[in-house]
C-alpha cells in the first residue's frame, strides 16, 4: 500500500488530536476505534471481508503498511473468522501511542516534550500540516451539510468518529447537536464501517459477550382455551404507545 493516501486509522487519530492541548480527545475509546479502523482499512484493501458479525481473511498478502500488516497477520493466525466485537475488545495495549509514533515517523505530527507540575514528563503532539486535518474535517462537514452519501472511506471515518465519542469534540455544544446527530446517521452508508462502529460501541457498553442481533425474534402466538389467538404481551415502549 503506497503512501499516496492516508489510512483511516491515521485520519481518525488526526481528527482526535486537539491542536490547543496537543493531546487526543476520548483517549480511552480511541484505542478501540483505531482497532476498528484497521479492520475497515484492511477490508478496503481487499485483505479481509465481513462474514455476518465476523471478520474473515480473504487475502493474507501484506499491504506494505507495517501497522496494518501486524493486524492482518494476527487475524490470519486465528485460522477462522473472528467476531468483530471480540477482535476490537481484545488486548490493544498502546495502539494509540503506536499510531502517534507512526504519524511522527511519517512527518504528519511532531512530538513536544514537556513536564506536568514541573516533575512528570509529558509528550504533546502537534500536526505539522494543519491543512491535512482541515481537509479531513471538511469531508465530514460536507457529508453532514449536504446529505449526499459520502464515499465508503469518509462514511467509515464518520461511523468510527461517532462510535468513539468524537462528535462532542468536533461539534460541541447545543449548536452542534444536529451535526452530531447527522454524524451518527452516516453509519448506514458503509456496511463495514457500520459493523465495526457498532462493535466499538458494544465493547464500550460491555455487551461483547453476546452476539449482536438486529432484531429480536417475535414471540410465538399462543392459542387461548377458546381457540382465539392471544396477542403478544406488550412491554416497555410498546405498552406506552398502546396506552395513548
* CA angle (40, 215, 43) in 5-degree steps: 10
158 and 10 in contact (C-beta within 8 Å)? no
Cα 16 from chain centroid?
Answer: 12
pLDDT tens digit string along 77-113?
A: 998 999 999 999 987 668 988 999 889 988 888 888 8
State residue 242's pLDDT score. 41
pLDDT higher than threshold 80 for residue 22: yes
pTM of the model: 0.79
SS3 145: helix
Q: Which residue has the cell 476505534?
A: 33
Phi, psi dihedral angles at 105 (to 5 degrees):
-65, -35
Q: Which residue has the cell 504533546?
A: 124
State residue 123's pLDDT score. 83
Amino acid at each position: 500500500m503506497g503512501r499516496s493516501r492516508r489510512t483511516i486509522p491515521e485520519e481518525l487519530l488526526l481528527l482526535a488530536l486537539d491542536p490547543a492541548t496537543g493531546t487526543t480527545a476520548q483517549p480511552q475509546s480511541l484505542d478501540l476505534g483505531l482497532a476498528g479502523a484497521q479492520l475497515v482499512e484492511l477490508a478496503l484493501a481487499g485483505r479481509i471481508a465481513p462474514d455476518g458479525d465476523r471478520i474473515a481473511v480473504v487475502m493474507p498478502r501484506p499491504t506494505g503498511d507495517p501497522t496494518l500488516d501486524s493486524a492482518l497477520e494476527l487475524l490470519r493466525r486465528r485460522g477462522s473468522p473472528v467476531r468483530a466485537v471480540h477482535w476490537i475488545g481484545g488486548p490493544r495495549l498502546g495502539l494509540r501511542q503506536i499510531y502517534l509514533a507512526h504519524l511522527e515517523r511519517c512527518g504528519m505530527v511532531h512530538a513536544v516534550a514537556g513536564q506536568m507540575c514541573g516533575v512528570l514528563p509529558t509528550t504533546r503532539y502537534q500536526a505539522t500540516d494543519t491543512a491535512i486535518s482541515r481537509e479531513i474535517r471538511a469531508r465530514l462537514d460536507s457529508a453532514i451539510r449536504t446529505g449526499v452519501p459520502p464515499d465508503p472511506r469518509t462514511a467509515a471515518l464518520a461511523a468510527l468518529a461517532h462510535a468513539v465519542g468524537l462528535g462532542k469534540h468536533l461539534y460541541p455544544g447545543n449548536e452542534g447537536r444536529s451535526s452530531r446527530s447527522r454524524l451518527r446517521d452516516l453509519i448506514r452508508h458503509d456496511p463495514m464501517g457500520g459493523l465495526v462502529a457498532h462493535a466499538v460501541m458494544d465493547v464500550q457498553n460491555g455487551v461483547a459477550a453476546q452476539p449482536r442481533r438486529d432484531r429480536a425474534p417475535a414471540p410465538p402466538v399462543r392459542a387461548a382455551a377458546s381457540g382465539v389467538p392471544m396477542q403478544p404481551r406488550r412491554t416497555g415502549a410498546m405498552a406506552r404507545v398502546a396506552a395513548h
